Amino acid sequence: MTAGELEGRVAIVTGGGAGIGRSIALDLAEHGAKVVVVDRSDPSPVAAEIVAAGGEAIPATADVTSETDLHAAIDAGAATFGGIDVLVNNAGIFASLQQRPFEEIPVEEWRLVFDINVLGSAFAVKAALPSMRARGGGAVVNIASTTAFKGSALPHYSSSKGAILALTKNLARELGGDEIRVNAVAPGFTVSAGVEQHADETATMRANAAGSRALHREMVPNDVVGAVRFLAGPASAFITGQTLVVDGGAYFH
């Protein structure tokens, strides 16, 4: 790996052990960032993949619903690399969710989705703030979803991603004085490792996705990484509170 647009920056990627998160972590490292790969499952293989390619990375096992876990992960990154500049809130639950009528979704599942998708992002920002402030600023990139604009057969998931859009705007307002930018990327249906592992649950959505787009093909994790890198890097230095839709033209935002 050679010097790139993120040279000297330290990035945390939650949910970085697989799927979209893995692709984001690899891309940020390829463009110069030192990466803390955070995941509930063992993130060591992704960190090792980055190091083998000539980059710098460490793994940090953490459940994003635990403030203690997130503080430990971010503290490890700051101790190893000197601070935190970028936080990518990618961890979420989606592919394993069963499509069913609204009134049949258990309340426990609603709470689980919001705990992971919304509170997990809020907790991660809270944990990263001291280090970002100490570095004189930073960039937060939240991974939302186009379902927040269009709705879906998973109303709790869509609602949680709508909350991410609102959180992005509110944090952008509050943290701008600290030179911390907060933006979001809203992908469309992406054929990630999680989708492949839960083929039955996602079959209908996958079958309909490509035909709904101006660009008629399936979306893959690498389609997301350029937008994330842009919002994490210097080219977006005067952009905050915004959501960038990446879905091949299924939703025009």
State the DSSP code for 251.
S
Site of tokens 């935002």: 253
pTM of the model: 0.93
Q: Helix, strand, coil % (nearest 5) of the chain?
A: 50, 15, 35
CA proximity to 167, closest of 143, 187, 191: 143
| Cβ-count burial 97-136 (b if 16+ within 10 Å, e if not) | beeeeeeebeeebeebbbbbbbbbbbbbbebbbebbeebe
Predicted pLDDT of residue 1: 54
Could you tell me the two tokens for 237? 């230095």
Q: Which positions are annotated as active-site residues?
A: 157
Binned at pLDDT 50, 70 and 90, residue 153 comes out as: confident
Across residues 14-30, what is the average pLDDT?
A: 97
